[in-house]
Structure 1
Amino acid sequence: MKVLKYPVVPIILLLAAGIATGSYINSTSNVLYIYTIVAFIIFITTYWFSFKTLLPKPYFTISTGFLAFIIGMLVFSLHYPPNHATHYTHLLTNKETPLIKGYISERIKPNDFNEKYYFKIQSINKQHATGKLLVTVPKNDYSHSLNAGDIIIIYETPKLVTKIGNPHQFDYAAYMEKQNVFHQIKLKNNYIEVGQIKNFDYYTEYFRNILINSFEKHNYSPQVMNVIKALLLGQRQDMDKDINQDYIDAGVIHILAISGLHIGILFYILRLLLKPLNHFSKRGRLLQLLITLTFLWIFAIIAGLSASIVRAVVMFSFVSIGLYFNRNANIFNSIAVSMLVLLLVKPAFLFDVGFQLSYAAVFAIVWMQPLYRKIKVSRYKAVNYFIDIVVISLVAQLGVLPLSLYYFSQFPILFPIANIVAIPLVTIALILGIIVLALNFIYSDLALLVGKFLSLLVEFMNSFINCIASFKNFVIKDIPFTLLLTISFYTIIAFGVLWGFKKEYKRMIALLCAVVVFQIIYTTTKWQADNNEAFVIFNNYNNSLAAHKQHNSITFYTNDGMALENRNIKAYAKGSFTDSITILPLQNTLYYMEHKILVIDSLGIYNRAIQPDILVLAKSPKINLERLLDTISPKVIIADATNYKSYITRWKATCRKKKIPFHATAEKGSYIIK
């Protein structure tokens, strides 16, 4: 099947490439306007000349692709908030603490210490401003929850979103930047609530809470209720960590994120319920279309308009419209057009992991359909139904495998077994959940009865997933995988599928070449990692942590009794392509090449005779730093993340006075000596 023969597909791919390029280059809109005009003139010119030639020339195709690429860059630039004159970053100064007014727009997933919200800015020092901040509220100071629409005035200078700053670890700051969030503020005694704005965000949360509260009469356990909230309303913020990890390890986390699976089920139910309207000629079919589109979009709004649900609803909207006009539009074009609409409205969707995984899975299922549709192992429909679930699950997993390895570094081997049971269960659970939700407002007694079946079903599903996830040896974790390996892996899959369609010699050679390229990239990457030597002082909060990487082995220095569970150690070992790890106690004196490193901890004990090149301060030692510097004269001072912030501030001032470089890992990330 020649996917690229469908004209919308390559255009969307080039548009996406333009958006990705724009995110790195970030040219000004004025420059891109000029490029777009030039590209459009070239496009019109080549289009006109294409009618003048007997044989088609590639110029028009090239100009179309170039125009799509430039439009992608322009779309990103137009949607990039700091490019707007009213963005709050243009109004912040270092001279005074700003007075920021805005409102809570959405609650997002909290961590162990803080509740988190998106905060949309209305004004800075009473001057109109736009933009979005991440605001956090410490859980130990959490007197009451904040809600969408709550208007807040904050007297605080926004700080850049905190970077973890350790090698090969997930960069939360970069992730938030892709969501157009660049700064954060911790709410404590620096804000007041002054009212509420009843806008789109307010009513979305308000109606969602009404639906959630309607389940209170069932007295579900938190584990059951949180799964129901995830399935029906896309709310996973309060999901139990252990249950969430079970679904990840079993390879079925996708059933908890509202996506094409859930929307497809709803679409099928709606088509079934509204089928009698087809008997009322064209008006009945139009009414069916309007009801379907209205229900799907209301459901998407209530569920929070996440990337996955919007993608699915947009796609099924195009399918609905196509069915209304009795046009069996090509599925690739439907996928591409839905992607086009999303990227034009919000180009940041391109960087959303769920968005990427969703499209990769859908594309794989549709593209490989001619291959797996031939598989019929039984004359019984029920048997073939379960076989289809397994095969489609395998195809979808193949489509997302390179991305899964790149983002999550793990592969659940038992995912086919988990999916063959979980997908039918989640289908029944979704149908029962919608019925119970409706009955909560219509007939409470019947709702309680049906709700018991729903509870039992969710409990069984959680238990089954937990059983599958308990086989830890069947979950391959901490797999090192780079972006270049991801691209080359997709190349292997693409040529493999093409060879499956048509077993030609040229395609076989192309597949073998792709495999060789993948091996070369992996070997080169591993060789570079093995020949890289470094000494790292980590940004680790609970215990001081240092590492000496030498060839294909790493020696970690720490006094942490649970060091092997430390995510910084796992991430560094994975990113270094090694599993040869040694854990040693952290001593006061360390050596790396010609560098002598002195570590002073809370005891404040050190050898005055040592003249270190690098001084590491850990666990807030009570020392007179100025006198210490006069005694041992280090070249660099490093304060790791185990120190009090007040101490770090004082030490920084002392080092500035003494003109000695000072590095605080909590502010700048890990310190690497090469």
Structure 2
Amino acid sequence: MTILKYPIIPITIIAAIGIALGSNNSIQPITASAIMAVAFAALVMAYRFSLKELLPKPYFTISVGIAALVLGIWVASLHYAPNHNAHYTRMIDDSEKPTIKGYISERIKPNNFSEKYYLKVQAVNGQYATGKILVTASKKKFPELLNAGDIIVIYDSPQPITKAGNPYQFDYAAYMERQNIFHQIKLKSNHIKAGQLKNTDYYIECFRNDLISSFNQHNYSPKVMNVIKALLLGQRQDMDKDINQDYIDAGVIHILAISGLHIAILFYIINLILKPLTRFRKKGRLIQLLLILAFLWSFAIVAGLSASVVRAVVMFSFVSIGLYFNRNANTFNSIAVSMLVLLLAKPSFLFDVGFQLSYAAVFSIVWLQPLYRKIKISKYKVVNYFADVVVISLVAQLGVLPLTLYYFGQFPALFPIANIVAIPAVTVVLVMGIVVVIINYIYSNLALLVGKVLAFLIECMNGFIGWIASFKGLVIKDISFTLPLTASLYGIIIAAVLWGFQKKYKRTVALLCAIILFQSIYIVTKWQRTNSNEFVVFNNWANSLIAYKQSGITYFYSNDSIALENWNLKAYAKGNFADSVTVLPLQHTFWYKQKRILVVDSLKIYETGINPDIVVLRQSTGVNLQRLIETTKPKVIVADATNYQGSINRWKATCNKNKIPFHATAEKGSYILK
């Protein structure tokens, strides 16, 4: 493979594997540092011995690989926040509520009921501390938003972030742990504001808010203004849900998040504007490089230094430096170096979906360039430009297809058509938006005129995307996909590309083997999932939901009229590769693997002579649990999430008294009987 001639690429890949290993094992920094020192010493010795050899020996290559792997583990250990002595988790216990002082660093995407923020901890009970905590505030109780730099003093115990309560559900707690955030606190009457810390976060937010307020003179609708904030400033917290879903269904959601696409557009434009400087030879090219870097990083700061912006700016910074040194052929090196630098600075980027998608897309575009650059369908540059947009979009989608299927489980069939319009449109909108921002402060009348054109373009773009998304039948959703399938699909893509470069016999065989491997993994996975047996009481808040899975058939039991729209049901069906879903009315009794299961609801009706092994309590039934236990003698009591917390607490006490296992799905997640 041609790209493997660049040594930084395998080093980056091995270091990433090390980060993944280090993140899954809590290795102490001292231990990791000792291992790193040994690996580095071995590398130096191997290098010195290799200088004395006429022909290169494999031990130096092996030592480089080991050093890269250990480097990844070491970096992951250093960045794992609880490993530091000053981390707040080392200063709190369950015996008493601590006093936590910190400041708001960032507002993140809210839900329907609460605003969400990151709180950087400064002190616990007056003692210096570090770390981050997720803070939520009710929109009703606290309608006024908190700002970056607001100092908050909280008298409350941090609670663990709720883990996934049902099978195959997105585990938000695990995701936050990857970001070094382990607890959350709900703001109530448990906090006070204690001033303002005017740090970098504060000034960046003030600057960003000033830019946003400069658009007030245009009186844009919320939908237009939110698109502007997303495209120019990376602020998607207030994006309209319907518009956001339209962009997802059309396959162009990437244009709403500042990423490599936007930075590439800006990079191309600023390069074009500064091109005359190259006439002044080396000094002119140096000035061009410095101005490009200054512009890109200024834009990143304005956009709030979000993960997607930083990684894109770092990537194109290295590309710019490579172009300055006339290293056009080493684009792979520039991409790999930027990736390695980002991972060493913040290992958690490795688990960021946007990070993975960005590099997969960019890598595929660069790698497949020799193939698609041959496509010229017309002698007119404009026609070829639109053709290039379509082809590059297809290539990028090919590169991210396995990850898209794995993370999102859907595939928009009309994404090429959407990208033909969306990418040129977003280019114009981005440039015009920057122009409007500038002239907002210079010439108000001209700003209003250009602003009307900008609003018209955004409305047209939203309308077109909405029209594409309206073809719901062409958006393939709820696709069942696993990590082994993702890896094997990448194997097919890599083998197909290599075959495209050189149609040799060995590469043909490799491609066929990759296809057979993918098919085999799919067949085995589907057979295992569909033929496994289990009985599941879901942690479902609104209505009780039970799954009965046996002999390759899955039945869902619920009295909910719209149970088919239930997210927990959909996730379970997708995770089990279910071809169809059948929902039946909830029963009072079940029989699973010679175990009787009794369901007791608000009617409090049950048969006393069936002697159930398991009793499921729902709808805060007023049944006398002590009497039920005495008459039916169950082995396990399960309370689903439709019960009030007060009822659950009483039942738990009763079960403890009678020494019967008690499982509350609201606390422990769904109850699964294999």
TM-score bracket relative to the smaller structure: over 0.9
* Contact map agreement 2:322 2:330 (CA 8 A) in 1: no
1:363 aligned partner, one-letter code = F
What corresponds to 1:236 in structure 2?
236
Query: Are 1:461 and 2:450 an aligned pair?
Result: no
Counterpart residue number, 2:338 = 338
Equivalent positions of 1:487-498 (< 5 A) are 487-498=487-498
The DSSP-based 3-state class of the residue aligned with 2:581 is: strand
- Gap change, CA 1:138 and 1:645, over 3 Å in 2: farther
Paired AA for residue 640 in structure 2: D
CA distance in 2, matches of 1:301, 1:663: 49
Structure 2 Cα separation of the partners of residues 124 and 628 of structure 1: 47
CA distance in 2, matches of 1:493, 1:280: 44
Pairwise CA distance, 1:280:
5.4
> Equivalences for 1:17-32 in 2 at 5 Å?
17-32=17-32
1:54 corresponds in structure 2 to: 54
Post-superposition offset of 1:19: 0.3
Deviation per CA, 1:492-546, whole angstroms, max 9, x where unpaired?
Answer: 1111111111111111111111111111111111111122010000011110100
In structure 2, what residue type is equivalent to 1:236? Answer: R
**Counterpart residue number, 2:537:** 537
Equivalent residue, structure 2, for 1:433: 433
* 2: CA distance, partners of 1:666 / 1:211: 44
> Do the aligned partners of 2:322 and 2:331 also contact (CA within 8 Å) in 1?
no
Q: Do the aligned partners of 2:318 and 2:335 also contact (CA within 8 Å) in 1?
A: no
> C-alpha distance in 2, partners of 1:149/1:574?
43
Cross-structure match for 2:349: 349
- Greater mean alpha carbon deviation, residues 13-22 or residues 87-96: 87-96
Letter in 1 for 2:28: T
Give the structure 2 partner of residue 648 of structure 1: 648
Return the letter of the residue paired with 1:13. Answer: I
CA offsets 1:139-161 (integer angstroms, 9 cap, x no match): 23233211111111111111111
Call closer, same or farther: CA 1:358–1:213 in 2, change over 3 Å. Answer: same
Q: How does 1:197-216 map to 2 (within 5 A)?
A: 197-216=197-216
Q: Which residue of 2 aligns with 1:526?
A: 526
CA RMSD of aligned residues (A): 1.5
Shift of 1:321: 2.5
The question of whether the paired residues in 2 share the 8 Å contact of 1:120 and 1:132 is answered with yes
| Displacement of 1:476 | 0.8
**Paired residues of 2:252 and 2:418 also in contact (CA < 8 A):** yes
The answer (yes or no) to whether the contact 2:120–2:130 under 8 Å persists in 1 is: yes
1:133 aligns with 2:140: no
Question: In 2 relative to 1, CA 554–111 (structure 1 residues): closer, same or farther, beyond 3 Å?
Answer: same
Deviation at 1:237, TM superposition (A): 1.0
- Matched ranges for 1:624-643 at <5 A: 624-643=624-643
**Which residue of 2 is the match for residue 78 of structure 1?**
78
- Looking at structure 2, the residues matched to 656 and 563 of structure 1 have their Cα atoms a distance apart, in angstroms, of 34
Distance 1:597 1:202 in 2: 57
Q: Partner residue of 2:189?
A: 189
Structure-2 change in CA distance of 1:625 and 1:302 (3 Å): farther
Q: Which residue of 2 aligns with 1:510?
A: 510
State the distance in 2 between where 1:580 and 1:423 align. 37
Could you tell me which residue of structure 2 aligns to residue 7 of structure 1?
A: 7
What's 2:119 paired with?
119
Equivalent residue runs for 1:651-670 within 5 Å: 651-670=651-670
Task: Give me the whole-angstrom Cα distance separating, in 2, the residues matched to 1:206 and 1:623.
Answer: 57
1:671 aligns with 2:659: no
Matched, 1:68 2:60: no
- Counterpart position of 1:160: 160
Of residues 487-496 and 138-147 in structure 1, the stretch that sits farther from structure 2 once superposed is 138-147
- Counterparts of 1:68-467 in structure 2 under 5 Å? 68-278=68-278, 282-328=282-328, 330-467=330-467
What SS does the aligned partner of 1:355 have? helix
Contact 1:552 1:580 in 2 (8 A): no
CA–CA separation in structure 1 for the residues paired with 2:213 and 2:135: 26
Matched residue, 2:566: 566
Amino acid in the other structure paired with 1:306: S
Deviation at residue 276 of structure 1 after TM alignment:
4.4
SS at match of 1:587: coil
Quote the offset at 1:282 in angstroms.
4.8
What letter is aligned with 1:667?
A: E
Identify the range of structure 1 (286-295 vs 403-412) with the bigger mean alpha-carbon deviation: 286-295
* 327-336 or 146-155: bigger deviation: 327-336
Q: Is 29-38 or 504-513 further displaced after alignment?
A: 29-38
SS at match of 2:653: helix
Deviation at 1:111, TM superposition (A): 1.3
State the TM-score, normalizing by the size of structure 1.
0.97
Q: What is the deviation of 1:644? A: 1.7
Q: CA deviation at 1:329?
A: 5.7
C-alpha spacing 1:200/1:626, structure 2 compared with 1 (3 Å): farther
Query: SS in structure 1 opposite 2:62?
Result: helix
Distance 1:551 1:461, change over 3 A: farther
List per-residue Cα deviations over 1:569-612 (Å, max 9, x = no partner): 11111110112321111122222222222222233333333422
In the alignment, residue 392 of structure 1 is paired with which amino acid?
A: I
Q: Which moved more, 1:417-426 or 1:205-214?
A: 205-214
Using a 3 Å threshold, how does the CA distance of structure 1 residues 34 and 300 change in structure 2: closer, same or farther? same
Q: Is the 2:289–2:321 Cα contact (8 Å) retained in structure 1? A: yes
Residue 95 of structure 1: how far off its partner (Å) = 1.1
Name the aligned partner's letter for residue 310 of structure 2.
V
- CA apart distance, 1:333: 0.4
Spell out, residue by residue over 1:603-643, the C-alpha distance to the aligned partner (whole angstroms, 9 max, x if none).
33333334221121212223443343333322111111112
Q: Give the SS at the match of 1:96.
A: coil
Q: Residue 518 of structure 2 aligns to which amino acid in structure 1? A: F
Shift of 1:277: 4.2
Moved more, 44-53 or 87-96: 44-53
Deviation at 1:97, TM superposition (A): 1.0
Find the residue that maps to 1:262 and give its secondary structure: helix
Higher mean alpha-carbon deviation, 535-544 vs 50-59, is at: 50-59
Following the alignment from structure 1 to structure 2, what is the Cα–Cα distance between the partners of residues 225 and 562?
A: 35
- Segment of structure 1 superposing worse, 598-607 or 263-272: 598-607
Q: Shift of the alpha carbon at 1:55? A: 2.2
* 1:42 Cα deviation from its structure 2 partner: 2.0
1:33 is aligned to 33
Q: Secondary structure in 1 aligned to 2:358? A: helix
3-state SS, counterpart of residue 107 of structure 1: strand
Unaligned runs of 5+ in 2: none
Q: Secondary structure at the match of 1:97?
A: coil
Amino acid at match of 2:307: A
Separation (CA, whole Å) in 1 of partners of 2:308 and 2:143: 33
For 2:582, the equivalent position in structure 1 comes to 582
Question: Alpha carbons of 1:185 and 1:424: their partners in 2 closer, same or farther (altered >3 Å)?
Answer: same
Matches of 2:40 and 2:262 in 1, distance apart? 40
Q: Alignment partner of 2:615: what SS?
A: strand
Structure 2: how far apart are the matches of 1:259 and 1:504?
37
Confirm or deny: 8 A CA contact 1:529 1:551 kept in the other structure: no
Aligned-partner SS, 1:60: helix
Provide, for residues 458-511 of structure 1, a one-character-per-residue CA deviation record: whole Å limited to 9, x for no partner: 111111111111111111111111001101111111111111111111111111
- For residue 281 of structure 1, report the CA deviation from its aligned partner: 5.7
Residues 543-554 of structure 1 mapped to structure 2, 5 A cutoff: 543-554=543-554
Call closer, same or farther: CA 1:501–1:255 in 2, change over 3 Å: same
Tell me the amino acid that sits aligned with residue 191 of structure 2.
Y
SS in structure 1 of the partner of residue 441 of structure 2: helix
Q: Is the 8 A contact 1:553 1:579 kept in 2?
A: no
Partner of residue 486, structure 1: 486
Provide closer, same or farther for how the CA distance between residues 160 and 48 of structure 1 changes in structure 2, counting only shifts above 3 A. Answer: same
CA deviations on 1:178-208 (whole Å, 9 max, x unpaired) are 1111111111121111111111111121111
Alpha-carbon separation, structure 1, partners of 2:476 and 2:296: 37
